[in-house]
């Protein structure tokens, strides 16, 4: 059975993701991408504070959130 192989499982997951995305309007997708980008940067900032590493940023800017969201959008738009 193909669905039990890792490739089959990934294909099934991809189909589910594409079906869910098809039901989402562009405004919701943009909001979700911005929220995900903010969460990623926020997590990185918290990790930097916990590590107390001087070479890591402990804050993020609006421009970084938008840039990260654009990177995520480029990734998910590439089929």
42 or 15, which is more confident? 42
DSSP of 7-60? HHHHHHHHHHHHHHHHHS-HHHHHHHHHHHHHHHHHHHHHHHHHHT-TTS-S--
pTM for the model stands at 0.59
**Considering the chain, what percentage of its residues have pLDDT values greater than 90?**
20
Six-digit token string for 35: 């929220």
Q: How does residue 48 score in pLDDT terms, banded at 50, 70 and 90?
A: confident
Q: How far apart are CA 3 and CA 19, in angstroms?
A: 18
């Amino acid at each position: 059975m193909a669905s039990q192989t890792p490739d089959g499982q990934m294909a099934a997951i991809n189909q589910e993701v594409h079906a869910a995305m098809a039901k989402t309007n562009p405004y919701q997708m943009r909001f979700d991408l911005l929220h995900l980008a903010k969460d990623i940067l926020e997590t990185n900032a918290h990790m930097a504070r916990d590590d107390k590493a001087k070479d890591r940023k402990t804050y993020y800017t609006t421009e970084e959130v938008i840039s990260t969201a654009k990177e995520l959008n480029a990734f998910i738009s590439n089929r």
